[in-house]
Structure 1
Amino acid sequence: MAERSGSASFQRVPDECLICAKHRGSGPLAGPVVFEDDLVVVSHQPGEVLGHLFVETRRHVATLDLLTVAEAEAVARAVRLVAVGLRAELDPEFVFSAVVGRAVAHFHQHVFVRHRGTPDEVPWDEDWPEAPTGDAADLCARLRTRF
């Protein structure tokens, strides 16, 4: 394991980091890429339900407080561009953003829509089984024009 900045044990870069693998183009989280540069990677969740994206730091860092100022600014910019793009492309009821959990100790921010017609009993953070599906790669190509 390579040691990175920070003293918490989850700061170590495990060979099995799913997000690091994703950035190399492999693993179960790999989906169509919207944008990438030296600081962030923006991609769509694998699958056919449209409108759940991830903004991740390129560098393996676990938490928001460990981001550099440049990384935090790049994340914020990408989140806003994705949210505006999702609103324009999918016309959802809401666009949400959340940084949740420690299941994967690599900073990632979810940006996702709540599709119009989603029943009230479906929690805000769960996919509706009847949500619109389609070609995520096509949606990502359209979103890419906003970067």
Structure 2
Amino acid sequence: MQPKIKHQDVEINGRKFRVKKFDAMTGSFMLFKVTGLLAPLFGGVDLTKLTDEASAASFLKTVNISSMLSGLGELSEKDFSYVQEKCLQVCEELLPAGPAQVLNKQGAFGVMDLEDDTITVLALTAHTLIFNLKGFFQGSPLASFLGGLKGTSLQS
């Protein structure tokens, strides 16, 4: 049995971050939230045809992503804030002086220049969700689809 991977280092816009695991209860909630958001996206999609990233990428070229993702608009601001805050709270920026927590429990940023950097904050949120939830999708055709959507593999 391989040891559990507790973190993943990512680079976004030239900055290095460490994404850590959610606690089990937060991870469970996130899984329910994400699968609830994804379920309507796959109505009418034959998931058995999505066998690898190439087939997922090919499928994505034929699909109207904006209509598929319209369900994301139904996520309330309160729920979105909860998800994003929980994601950012398990992230650290890797600085020369040592790691610094991206967002503390009170919702304040602990590193410079992120409070108005929408792209980096959204990328960190996506990396955190994928890192924490990919185990649930492993072996599933959804892993290929989501890997193609993000441009990275969800399979270990």
When the two structures are superposed, what TM-score results if normalisation uses the length of structure 1? 0.25
Structure 1 or 2: larger helix share?
A: 2
Which structure is richer in relative contact order (CA contacts within 8 A, separation 6 or more)?
2
Give the greater-gyration-radius structure (CA). 2
